[in-house]
Structure 1
Amino acid sequence: MTDQIERPTATPPSPGRARQNAIYSAGVFGHIPSVPADFAELERRAKRAMGPRAWAYIGGGAGEGATMRANRAAFDDWAIVPRVLRDVSRRDLSVDLFGTTLPAPVLFSPVGAGELAHPDSDIHIGSAAAELGVPYIFSNQGCSPMEDTAAAMEAVTPGAPRWFQLYWSTDDALVESLVRRAENMGAEAIVVTLDTTMLGWRPQDLNLGSLPFARAEGIAQYTSDPRFRDIVAERIANPSGAAGPKVELTRAAVSTLFSMARHLPGSLLKNLASPVPKQSVQTFLDIYSRPSLTWDDIAGLQKRTSLPVVLKGILHPDDARTAVEMGIDGIIVSNHGGRQVDGSISSLHALPDVVAAVDGRAKVLIDSGVYTGADAFKALALGADAVCIGRPHMYGLAINGRDGARDAVANIIAELDLTLGLSGHTDVTSLTPDALRHMGRR
């Protein structure tokens, strides 16, 4: 009887190897990717593809940009310590979030007024997420009604996972209407953004005098909402009598008027002759967010929906403890991509204390500064259950629409897979801080 030599069985290509193979194979025929594989070049090309207003809003941050820099520096503070001679031929990126198994611990973050980067932005982003099988968190400041985006995702992948981001309006009936619509369009979670009860000081936008919402960009969730339309109709029927700002007939004013009319449902010509577009914009600006939001409001939301409630914008462990003690299902550790408070703690530096405070009682996600697969690895090792990707997918969108948004996130997933294996690990859910070493100061 001869000894049998055990040969390794073939394994299907991992997400990382499959993506590498596809890119290199295309390169044989002279085809190079439209979306760069590194973030620095991705950002440079996206800036060239965007106009000044789009770049200010999407690429800009609060104040002098200290928080944006801190978000990136925090990832450099942590170094991956690879292990060797481990069988890493099979790797598992899958995670479970609220009963849904995802192929990778990655979500598309909500980014408002995405049409600044590309027309029909939400449709393209949702379709890209559906193709990858990971959730898109619909922006409350989206450019397409949530129902249209959900339908586009269904056309790509039936049952494609999606969540809904909620900005808490001063009109509680509008909040109720948005939540009901989110439930009806198949949202798997409600993500309440806590850190934008008012806009931060954003010099890039201020220097251009540019607020997308003032041109009716990014308010489609509102103009498609029956409660919001009722508020607008009431205001038109019963004007307050307060004098508005003096109207100057300038080229910019005419452009803004056309933008308002174009973004509202209905005929452009009828909208130009109607008070509805202008009043819709003013109503949005008056009621879109509520600085008086408290924990009591969140408790009320928990009673009004059966969906998991996720709180986005928590950075302090005491706030995390309060959240889990009241039964919150998830937390997104976030400083809004550095767009709200200049000089804020980075999301990654806040993450370990939040994870300790939560102590496994809720899901913990992170956004702000997660630009690469190696970044995602570090966040997962520090206790995050998943990461949310913002600017990278918007930059991909600006460069090549749906395919660009998809490829930007596919690159991050591919790099995460390869980083996992090359570091000696096989399962993202088993990563611990032992995979890292802290190299800087906090």
Structure 2
Amino acid sequence: MDLATLREFEAEARARLDPAHYDYFAGGAGDEVTVRANEAAFGRLGLLPRVLRGVTKLQTGITLLGSRAAMPVLIAPTAFHRLADPEGERATARAAAAAETIMIVSMAATVAIEDVAAAAPEAELWFQLYIQPDQAFTGKLVRRAAAAGCKALVVTVDSPALGRRERDLRNGFHDLPGHLCCENLRDGARGGRVRPVVMAPELSWEHLDRLRDMTSLPIVLKGITHPADARLALDHGAAAIMVSNHGGRQLDTVPATIDLLPDIVAAVGGAVPVLLDGGVRRGTDVLKALALGAAAVAVGRPVLWGLAAGGERGVGRVLGLLRAEVEHALTLCGCASIHDLDPGMVRRSC
């Protein structure tokens, strides 16, 4: 596969996907201001390299919440992988294992968490969860994730209602094709009723406390954009925070995550790791986020582009490109380790 950039993978995926499915993956809420801002904001930041630092061996590995990764790039939770490739989340998990990174499996996956884990026993898996109003069903999902070997729960907290995604409305895309479903939402064994994902505006910090009582797994709160919420997350036992605006798919005009990151890092004060997703398309983007205080980043759409363009091999190529770009940018910045990056190496250029 001779595609050389993540942008080329997106173009190839667009050519292969059903147009409505491409729009589902690529689109966002409202005017998609936030979708565009996430990527554009990285372009307004410049890297200030150091020189003559004697870099001989690069160190890009991280350990997060008991999971190890060879690079500070995780696979963000995204739904419906079987729209992109028949193997779906199985292929993504195998590519994640080969790349030695962490895959966050979506609650809305089209392959059950047990089958994802079985397809890639070596993979480091976390499980993304929308807390459901039915507490018993939420508990069942948490137990399934733990039994499958997931090492953390990533609780999405920015979705009291589904974002108004106008591409999907224009395309009439409301449901998966009949041969697919959200396999983690079955009530029972194969063939059982599939529940809908319920977005519940009544959810509160109290519900997070109840979830904390259900499990010993570390909880990552995904969707934090306000420093006050970051501080509350610490009060309620979050093990990590992910600065995320849901890829621009929920509330439009939320600022770019890279612009929000420094205030969240300051609010947390090093108490827990801070992760970031949204708009990462280059190794230089990864370095900018790390320099500004992120412990790692997560990528969603680029993984789907790789999956649509080339299945497991395509995902592997996307992850390989990002790792190579991270290593190359580290070398040019005069850093032997990702831990050598600091805020003084990032400058707003416009």
For the aligned pair, the TM-score class normalised by the smaller chain equals: over 0.9
Q: Using the alignment, how far apart are the partners of 1:430 and 1:307 within structure 2? A: 30
Could you tell me the percent identity over the aligned residues? 40
Cα distance in 2, alignment partners of residues 299 and 429 from structure 1: 33
Work out whether 1:424 is the aligned partner of 2:338: no
- Partner residue of 1:385? 295
Report if the CA contact (8 A) 1:58-1:391 is conserved: yes
**1:207-235: CA deviation from partner (whole Å, max 9, x where unpaired):** 01112348574411112x43xx7xxxxxx
Report the counterpart of residue 157 of structure 2 in structure 1: 194
Q: How many angstroms apart in 1 are the aligned matches of 2:6 and 2:279?
A: 11
Question: How do 1:142-157 residues align onto structure 2 when only pairs under 5 Å count?
Answer: 142-154=109-121, 157=122
- Matched letter for residue 76 of structure 1: G
Map Cα deviations across residues 369-403 of structure 1 (whole Å, 9 max, x no partner).
01111111111111000010111111000000011
1:173 to 116, 136, 142: 136
Residues 109-188 of structure 1: pairs in structure 2 closer than 5 A: 109-154=76-121, 157=122, 160-188=123-151
Distance 1:403 1:188 in 2: 25
Distance in 1 of aligned mates of 2:275 and 2:180: 28
For residues 80 and 159 of structure 2, the distance between their equivalents in structure 1, rounded to whole angstroms, comes to: 15
Distance 1:196 1:410 in 2: 32
Aligned counterpart in structure 2 of residue 212 of structure 1, from 163, 175, 191: 175
What are the residue-to-residue correspondences of 1:20-99 with 2, within 5 Å? 33-34=1-2, 36-99=3-66
Cα distance in 1 for residues equivalent to 2:300 and 2:175: 18
Q: Which residue identity is paired with 1:98?
A: L
1:292, CA displacement in angstroms?
A: 1.1
Q: Is the 8 A contact 2:274 2:296 kept in 1?
A: yes
Aligned residues of 1:396 and 1:407 also touching (Cα < 8 A): yes
1:407-422 correspondence to structure 2 within 5 Å:
407-422=317-332
Specify the code of the residue in structure 1 equivalent to 2:58. R
Larger helix proportion of the pair? 1
CA distance in 1, matches of 2:266, 2:206: 24
- The whole-number CA distance in structure 2 between the counterparts of 1:110 and 1:118 is 16
Q: For residues 267 and 181 of structure 2, what CA distance do their matches in structure 1 show?
A: 35
2:130 and 2:275 mapped to 1: Cα distance? Answer: 19
The alpha-carbon deviation at position 122 of structure 1 amounts to 0.6
Paired position in structure 1 for 2:202: 292
Aligned pair in 2 of structure 1 residues 61, 215: CA closer, same or farther (>3 Å)?
A: farther
Summarize deviations over 1:174-232 as a string: whole Å, max 9, x none: 10000001111111100001112321010111001112348574411112x43xx7xxx
5+ long unaligned stretches in structure 1: 1-32, 230-264, 267-275
User: d(CA) in 1 for partners of 2:73 and 2:42?
Assistant: 17
Contact 1:331–1:362, Cα closer than 8 Å, also in 2: yes
Out of 352, 355, 358, the position equivalent to 2:268 is 358
Maintained 8 Å contact 1:312/1:334: yes
List gaps (5 residues or longer) in structure 2: none
Counterparts of residues 97-112 of structure 1 (less than 5 Å): 97-112=64-79
Alpha-carbon spacing, 1:216–1:322, altered in 2? closer, same or farther (3 Å): farther
What amino acid is the match of 1:359? G
- Residues 223-242 of structure 1 mapped to structure 2, 5 A cutoff: 223=186, 225-226=187-188
Please name the residue that 1:273 is paired with.
Answer: none
Larger Rg: 1
Quote the offset at 1:170 in angstroms. Answer: 2.1
Cα 1:211/1:217, change in 2 over 3 Å: farther
Once the 2 structures are TM-superposed, how far is the Cα of residue 302 of structure 1 from its aligned partner?
1.3
TM-score (norm 2): 0.96
Q: Please, what is the CA RMSD of the aligned residues?
A: 1.5
